[in-house]
Amino acid sequence: MVPAMKQVVDDILTPNGWGAATTDDSGEAVLEVWKGNMRSQVASGKRPHIRFAASRDAPNIAVTYATQYRGALPKTMSPAQISEELVQQHVLEFFKVLAR
C-alpha cells in the first residue's frame, strides 16, 4: 500500500506544495498530508491522514481518514480487494476532501 501512496505523493502532492509522510508498521499503512501547520480537529491535533489498517477481529482492511474538520467512518474490504489502483483511489478521494 505504501508504494501506491508514495506515487500519489511524488506525482501530485509534493509538486503542488503539500507535505506528506508515510508510515507502515503494526498492520497499518498511514499517509499524513499537510500544508503549513495544518492539524486535524477530529484526530486529537494530529496531521490530516488516511489509514489502511488490518482489522483485529476479522481478516479485513479498514480505511479511515481525518481531515482538518471531518473524519470518515471505516470502509472495510478484504485483503484480496486491495490493489494499487484502489489505494490510489482512496488517497485521491481523501485529498479532494482535504483540499476543499
- State the residue for C-alpha cell 477530529: 42
Q: What is the pLDDT of residue 73?
A: 82
Q: What is the pLDDT of residue 17?
A: 95
Q: What is the pLDDT of residue 71?
A: 87
What is the secondary structure of 15-57 as a DSSP string?
Answer: GGT-EEEEEEETTEEEEEEESTT---TTTTTPPPEEEEEE-SS
Q: What is the pLDDT of residue 57?
A: 74
Please identify every stretch of the chain with a pLDDT value under 50, giving residue numbers as ranges: none
Residue-range definition of the domain harbouring residue 33: 2-98
CB 95 within 8 Å of CB 33: yes
Q: What is the pTM of this model?
A: 0.88
